[in-house]
Amino acid sequence: MVYPKVVADREVLVVREGEEVQAPLRAFLDGYDGPRPRYRIELVLRGDLFTATASDVFEALARLRRQLEPTGHAVAVQGARRDVWPSGMTRDMSGGLQAYVMRPGEKATASDLVETLADAPVELLGTIAEQEACRDAWFGRFRQR
């Protein structure tokens, strides 16, 4: 196989204080460090290139969002929703290209799977801290049982 391999190449909505702009986003499988994959995600926003790498696309997106959050920007994709998080299995099997919508009090099923880089409604977006808090609360409910 030839690397890098493009796994996503699309325009995404980026929002900041009510302002919306379209920006090109690309994700790549750059190769492997031993058995571990190496993914990279790039976003060009108003001429500036933001890039992040990780062992899966969801984590690369989170690292990219950490760069954007201090400027007030949010990427309107499913992986940036406050109620979305991948399982270990989706990270391994899809490279983090899929994640689950977490529904309070319910276990995730296949019908809860979303594409990490697919469009998401702006009103469902959250910060990484909000997303992690939702994840912790969701997983915590099942640990208590």
The string of pLDDT tens digits covering residues 108-136 is 899 999 999 999 999 999 999 999 999 99
Instruction: Give Cα separations from 6 to 21, 30, 62, 106 (angstroms).
Output: 23, 9, 19, 34
User: Given pLDDT bands bounded at 50, 70 and 90, which one contains residue 50?
Assistant: very high
Q: What is the pLDDT of residue 115?
A: 98
The percent of residues in the chain predicted with pLDDT above 70, rounded, is 97
- Residue 57 phi, psi (nearest 5): -65, -40
pLDDT digits (tens, 9 = 90+) for 23-38: 999 999 999 999 999 9
In the numeric block, the tokens 């983090």 are attached to 96
Q: What pLDDT does residue 144 have?
A: 53
Closest CA to 16 of 77, 72, 57, 67: 72
If you average pLDDT over residues 3-16, what whole number do you get?
98
Break the chain into its structural domains and give their ranges. 5-143
CA–CA gap between residue 94 and residue 133 (Å, rounded): 24
Instruction: Give the pLDDT of residue 76.
Output: 98
Enter the pTM of the model: 0.94
pLDDT of residue 142: 59
Distance of alpha carbon 133 from alpha carbon 137, whole angstroms: 6
